Structure 1
Amino acid sequence: MAATSVPADVPDPDALSEAFHVYEVEITDDGVRYYGEPLTVRDEVVRRLAPTFRQAGYRVTMNYETGEFVLVATERSTSIDGVPWLNLLLFFVTAATTLFAGSQWYGLPVVENPLLLLQAWPFAVSVLGVLAVHELGHYALSRRHEVQATLPYFIPIPNVLGTLGAVIRMKDNIPSRAALFDIGVAGPLAGVGATVVVTVIGLSLDPISVGEVSLVADLELGFPLLIQAIAALMGEPLHYSDPGLMVNPVLVGGWVGAFVTFLNLLPVGQLDGAHVARAVVGDHIGTVQRVVPLALFGLAGYLYVFADGRGAFLWALWGVLTLVFGLAGGATTVDESPVGWKRQAVAVLTLVVGALCFAPVPIALTG
């Protein structure tokens, strides 16, 4: 249905006139579409009009379709709409792939007896646990700031960890830089808390024999300062003089948590670090983002020259990825008011946490 009037519960076209001239309105099953001409730049249109739509219970995005600009208003809801089947499916598939990965760390002959997969549950719980806590940190703060967000989507893959991590997707306009900061910082801080817990548990468990481990026997994990410090405080080793012993696979969950925390705190694109940096430094985030790939390429070059190339490919790859992430753009907020000194202090703490989670060579082949 095309019209120039709208139902009473959605913003009237005249209420948008400060930033968008509406010449047609379409009511659809998904919401309301306003066709017209922007009176300022695209991001500024959304920033100016988002409070009007939010007050009416809608979120707004701006698209360019078949030669026309259109504001798309959809109803907001922070509740879970029905059973999240895709989230559940991905979780159970990822649970299966992490169980299989764990079986390799434990050296279980699962080909001969598939039921032995279940014995790898400590590894799967540790890896999935730190990832889940990280993402649920984001989700909880999204709910607190009344920002629509999905439940975590786990990413299964048949590698030595069984997963590429997990993500949530925000489906709403971010109301303020303070909200962006809180949502961005919650994941890494929650995740590093889970990392500490899993690391302590992993170090408390007995080491295992690598005599029958095939796929992971030639892997060497580089532990960051955070895990090294915990091991030193507990008086537990991270490496053994006996080549037939290795740390308990549960500790790998702690390594995953630290590695994921560091990567997510890189201030580029839609990564957590970019949300935190964008909230603190505002439009200067562009300068910050340009430095990150250069630093990663520099690290890759250093490792290639001075460390026999160990870890060089990984950081070169992440240098390329951060270039792509930067081109994709970052989050924007409706209210551009600066964050206060308390959040700035938390940002500094988060930077320290990220540094403690860094390992120059996080993983390498020894065979």
Structure 2
Amino acid sequence: MRITAADVPALERGVALLGSGGGGDTVTAAVLLRRLTESGREPVVHRIADLLPDTLVVPTGIVGATAAFAEKLPSGDEFASAIAAIERWTGQRAQALMTIEIGGLNGLLPLVVAQELGLAYVDADLSGRGLPRLDQFSVAATGRGVAPAAMAEPGGRVVVLAAAADSVVENGVRAFLSSSGGWAAIALAPIPAGELADHAVLDTTSEALALGARVLAAGESPDLAVLETALDGQVLARGRVLEVSRHIGPGQHGHPGFGRGSATLTDHRDGALLRLEMENEYLLALRDGLPVASTPDVLSVLDRRTGVPLQCDAIRAGVEVDVVCLAASPFWTDPRRRPLLEPRAYGIDCDPVVAP
């Protein structure tokens, strides 16, 4: 599958929806991808079946404060440095890339990186949506593990976290980011293409493109039935945001956690109150106090007028929105893996709500 300039708006909309309110603003990454395609350098997305089983695929992407990425743009060397570092550490040469996360800007940026480095790009990722922590990646869920992981930050520093439990790697990454300008490029150890079916979420780029194309085709301010058909999902509420509250979430060992908050709106259809609990992503929806949807399903909030997904840090009182729910990737419906993404993984004492 070749990504053309005409595909960029649909792919951008699809990855923004799958970000579930997180994953970072897609605008900058979409500009870079559009410029690449308009210059005639169209990325090709390869299905796993198209690759030899021993093709070494490096997961890569941006970690950290994605808002800082737009303010402190990359020099162009960060990804190459991180990938080179993981190659040196593992003694394996990258033959293809995949993204660590299809949701948000990481659904777009690694396509640009693969084209710039002359590497194949694989239709898979380690998340199937937007996720805040490395220890929630699919390789953590399957026991393969996140380490080793190499990071390169805009100031030129490169760090390799060689071996540790996934939670320790996550904490080490956050410690590095706190002193590095807020974001870094990351590369994980190569995974043979023949093993990706067991350790990754497959076909996520092609599915994001198809999702975005359907939603864009539905037009602005579509009827509920049209929107639900385009999303292949459910509209939980349609109404005006009444209140948004934010606070610092629970952390570990005395350190503050991610920003937490909630947004409340009235459903214009029947007057019910819908409250969204959020961290970096939208996590739980309660309708008149009863849970009706939750992670690992993808909750997203769309501007009612434009249909553009609203990030958790951008939702404001007074905005007319549609709150929607998309079913989680089958990878995360496995009861052995679901605990990594269910509400209690974020400190919310609630059972996951399974989409019908």
TM-score range, shorter chain: under 0.3
TM-score, normalization by structure 1: 0.24
More strand by share: 2
TM-score, normalization by structure 2: 0.24
Q: Relative contact order, CA 8 A, sep 6+: which one is greater?
A: 2
Larger Rg: 1
More helix by share: 1
